[in-house]
Amino acid sequence: MGYKIAVVGATGNVGREMLNILAEREFPVDEIVALASRRSMGTEVSFGDTTLKCKDLDQFDFTGWDIALFAIGSDATKQYAPIAAKAGCVVIDNSSLYRYDPDVPLVVPEVNAEAVDGYTKKNIIANPNCSTAQMVVALKPLHDRARIKRVVVSTYQSVSGSGKEAIDELWNQTKGLYVPGQEVAPSVYPKQIAFNVIPHIDVFMEDGSTKEEWKMVAETKKIMDPSIKLTATCVRVPVFVGHSESINIEFEDFLDEEEARDILRESPGILVIDKREPGGYITPVECVGEYATYISRIRQDSTIENGLNLWCVSDNLRKGAALNAVQIAEVLGNRCLKKG
């Protein structure tokens, strides 16, 4: 016995990755369907060696289906997720819609897998923001050892986090700067992204932070520990895939960098690449297509009593979105649904 799985938003970057990862990880699938908007009906997407034709989400009946992986925006999720959940299909949602709902678990399996058990309240589980997911994977084992008081994080986020149009904008702007007459004005972003960095992701809030920065604070507290203080600066950079983060951590107890390195090496979902030599660290280029959250540049922060710095890199379409959703489905199956 396997599962009947629906991938909602199957033509987008994250939806396609969900299909890839379900196949790669040999998730026990009895039947799978690719769903998209009516305009994408009939579009072909790959699932392992199989080609699926997208069906119309608007006409789909979720009755009898086990799990729906949602990779559509919050507005569409608001319309369709309750329909799927009411039909008895567990929704794993990649949008921000349900992340802060107290009746919906927000899950990163390496960090709080047991929270999946709370899905029964609404039949919905939320996937965190891409920048939060990789960070909490790195923070949790260190928090368990020395208790984190405060985190200061600066992110360097790739354009794939904004969708296919943003990837095209970076590509076309970069080409356009070299070809007179083919310059491309910003449309996805408020300023040129080619050869530039933009300290603005999502909308601005009253206190001067952006919604992306607020998400990192709120989600870390919900997933890990509400007592952790966190401040973030989120920056869009001209990289196609892969988010990077510079993380400064203040602990309650002293934690030596060598012990921290050993702890991280033994922790699930993490690969430590940390040689103090040219190239002895990970950059976004190397993380593309990989499952791991990579940690480099682990070192003591001598400006505070119990401080560490580290560099954290992961494929935002994988651990930051599709992989985490599939891992949630695996935990849900093993702990709760128990098929396959």
Got the DSSP string for 274-333? Answer: --SSTT-S--HHHHTT--PEEEEEEEE-TTSTTEEEEEEEE-TTIIIIIHHHHHHHHHHI
> Is position 220 annotated in a ligand binding site?
no
Question: Taking the alpha carbons of 80, 85, 90, 92 in that order, is the dihedral positive or negative?
Answer: positive
- CA gyration radius, the chain: 20
Instruction: Report residue 176 CA to chain centroid gap.
Output: 31
Please report the domains of the chain, with CATH numbers, ordered by start residue: 3-127+321-336 (3.40.50.720), 131-158+197-314 (3.30.360.10)
> Is position 132 annotated in a ligand binding site?
no
> Does residue 184 surpass a pLDDT of 70?
yes
What's the rounded Cα separation, in Å, for the pair 332 and 319? 17
Rounded to two decimals, what is the model's pTM? 0.95
What positions carry a catalytic annotation? 130, 243
Q: What is the pLDDT of the chain when averaged over all its residues?
A: 97
At 52, the amino acid letter reads L
Contacts 24+ apart (CB under 8 A), 53-62: 54/10, 54/11, 57/8, 60/6, 60/33, 60/35, 61/87, 62/6, 62/87, 62/88, 62/89
Residues 6+ away with beta carbon under 8 Å from 26: none
> Is position 14 annotated in a ligand binding site?
yes
169-to-176, 236, 243, 333 alpha-carbon distances in Å: 10, 13, 18, 39
Which pLDDT belongs to residue 340? 64
> What is the full DSSP assignment across 47-113?
ETTEEEE-EEGGG---TT--EEEE-S-HHHHHHHHHHHHHTTPEEEE-SSTTTT-TTS-B--HHHHG
> Is position 160 annotated in a ligand binding site?
yes
Average pLDDT of the segment spanning 36-60: 95
Which pLDDT belongs to residue 95? 95
Three-state DSSP at 253 gives: coil
> Does residue 146 surpass a pLDDT of 90?
yes
pLDDT for 72-120, tens place per residue? 999 999 999 999 999 999 999 999 999 999 999 999 999 999 999 999 9
Which pLDDT belongs to residue 1? 82
Which pLDDT belongs to residue 118? 97
Q: 228 pLDDT band (50/70/90 cuts)?
A: very high
Average pLDDT of the segment spanning 221-227: 98
Average pLDDT of the segment spanning 172-177: 96
Residues 6+ away with beta carbon under 8 Å from 76: 9, 37, 57
Which pLDDT belongs to residue 339? 80
Instruction: Report residue 122 CA to chain centroid gap.
Output: 22
Q: How many CB atoms lie within 10 A of CB 310?
A: 24
Cβ 158 vs Cβ 131: under 8 Å = no
Residues 6+ away with beta carbon under 8 Å from 284: 156, 158, 239, 241, 242, 243, 244, 313
**Buried b or exposed e, range 259-283, using 16+ CB within 10 angstroms:** ebbebbeebebbbbbbeeeeeebbb
> Does residue 152 surpass a pLDDT of 70?
yes
Q: 188 pLDDT band (50/70/90 cuts)?
A: very high
**Element spanning 219, H or E:** helix 211-223
> Is position 316 annotated in a ligand binding site?
yes
Helix axes 130-146, 211-223, angle to 10 degrees: 40
> Is position 157 annotated in a ligand binding site?
yes
